[in-house]
């Protein structure tokens, strides 16, 4: 029986970062070199991001927090809280986002209810606590106490795909399974002032958000994305170009400027094992109608579009998510797939159209998936 992703629902913190205002704050920090100031202006202005969401309510100039840990709005100074302080905020804010996104996903499937959930898979690389989000979802949603729980931690931007692949495996093994997958990332907890190009790039791109999906083979007549195939490929170079380390003042992002070049050089080879899984795909890349690309940054999208000769229309979902939300690590590609589902599943004409999706992360790892759009069927 086909394994379907029935819905994707999202949640974001209420505090909005406006890219131009954030740029000005970062550019005004003491200790910056002239080169650092130029890099900030270039990175923020060229990111093609308008707004992002943050769990750090202090990151606003509209009100002044008493005894701030992250940002002193009164004098415009970014503070340098310890990793412990940052992680404590993660443990305080992340549960609400996990639960909000998951609740919306369940509500979007009226034929399913909390007791139907057999497995929970949670994903995050931006904080830790235990009992973790997988446990909290069972309690908060009233799931069966025997629900099987799994947490994928610290994998980075591509981690939604291992979670979806595991969900498909559970459903292939037992068609009665109903799997709840929830990704939640609070990347903005780890921003800091710096002259380092990688750190500046992270400050210009990263944001916070959560996405939840329901995966099951129980209801083949329902609308959704059929999960067909998954593949993972490690590029032969780039191990040090993208990384995520734990420091004394938060997690430290390594996002080398050469990453788009690595993806440009190796994206064809990375896609080859996936597309070889389906003999019916005797077409050009642009012949696959829909592309759910993780918008790791504008340069990455530009390189993928040019190398695969995709149209502007095929990049709209990824570019729109980047513009409105920034890079939310593992959650981001789920936001993109949500756009594709919502824009197309209401039309019977798209039945059987394929979606090729991909995300990139530390390693350098390329995760890919083929999916099929299937509107609701009767009879």
Cross-strand partners of 234: 365
Q: Is 125 a catalytic site residue?
A: no
**DSSP symbol at 79:** P
Between strands 4-11 and 15-18, the pairing is unpaired
**Burial tier of 335 (Cβ tally within 10 Å: 0-12, 13-18, 19+):** buried
Q: Which residue is catalytic, options 157, 171, 187, 356?
A: 157
- Evaluate whether 202 touches 255 at the Cβ level (below 8 Å): yes
> Which residues, 6+ apart, have CB-to-CB distance to 70 below 8 Å?
56, 58, 59, 78, 79, 81
8 A C-beta contact, residue 19 and residue 56: no
Q: Are 102 and 121 in contact (CB under 8 A)?
A: no
Report the distance separating Cα 119 and Cα 152, nearest Å: 13
Q: Which helix (H) or strand (E) holds 355?
A: strand 354-361
**Contact (Cβ atoms closer than 8 angstroms) between residue 190 and residue 237:** no
Burial of 311 (0-12, 13-18, 19+ CB in 10 A): exposed
Label residue 129 exposed, middle or buried (CB < 10 Å: 0-12, 13-18, 19+): middle
Q: Is 131 exposed, middle or buried (0-12, 13-18, 19+ CB in 10 A)?
A: exposed
- φ/ψ of residue 299, rounded to 5: -65, -35
Give the CA angle between residues 43, 49, 54 to the nearest 5°. Answer: 100
Rounded CA-CA distance 87/281 in Å is: 45
**Helix, strand, or coil (residue 304):** helix
H/E element, 364: none
- Active-site residue list: 157
């Amino acid at each position: 029986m086909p394994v379907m992703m029935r819905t994707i629902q999202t949640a974001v913190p209420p505090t909005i970062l406006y890219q131009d205002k954030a740029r000005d704050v970062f550019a005004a920090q003491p200790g910056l070199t002239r080169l650092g100031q130029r890099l900030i202006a270039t990175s923020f202005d060229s990111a093609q991001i308008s707004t992002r969401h943050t769990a750090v309510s202090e990151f606003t100039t509209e009100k002044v927090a008493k005894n701030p840990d992250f940002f002193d709005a009164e004098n415009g100074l970014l503070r340098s809280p310890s990793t412990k302080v940052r992680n404590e905020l993660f443990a305080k804010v992340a549960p609400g986002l996990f639960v909000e996104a998951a609740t919306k996903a369940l509500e979007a499937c009226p034929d399913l209810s909390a007791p139907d959930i057999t497995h929970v898979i949670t994903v995050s690389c931006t904080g830790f606590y235990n009992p973790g989000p997988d446990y909290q979802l069972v309690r908060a949603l009233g799931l069966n106490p025997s629900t099987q729980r799994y947490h994928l931690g610290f994998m980075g931007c591509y981690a939604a795909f291992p979670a979806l692949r595991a969900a498909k495996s559970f459903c292939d093994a037992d068609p009665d399974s109903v799997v709840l997958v929830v990704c939640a990332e609070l990347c903005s907890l780890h921003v800091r002032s710096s002259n380092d190009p990688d750190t500046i790039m992270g400050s210009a791109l990263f944001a916070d958000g959560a996405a939840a999906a329901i995966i099951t083979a129980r209801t083949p007549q329902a609308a959704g994305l059929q999960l067909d195939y998954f593949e993972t490929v490690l590029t032969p170079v780039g191990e040090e170009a993208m990384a995520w380390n734990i420091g004394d003042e938060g997690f430290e992002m390594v996002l080398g400027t050469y990453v788009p070049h690595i993806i440009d050089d190796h994206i064809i080879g990375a896609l080859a094992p996936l597309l070889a899984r389906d003999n019916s795909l005797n077409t050009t890349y642009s012949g696959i109608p829909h592309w759910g690309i993780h918008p790791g940054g504008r340069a990455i999208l530009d390189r993928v579009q040019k190398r695969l000769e995709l149209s502007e229309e095929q990049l709209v979902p990824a570019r729109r998510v980047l513009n409105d939300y920034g890079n939310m690590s593992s959650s981001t590609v789920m936001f993109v797939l949500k756009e594709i589902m919502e824009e197309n599943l209401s039309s019977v004409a798209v039945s059987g159209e394929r979606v090729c999706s991909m995300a990139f992360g530390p390693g350098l790892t390329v995760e890919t998936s083929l999916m099929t759009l299937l509107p609701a069927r009767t009879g």
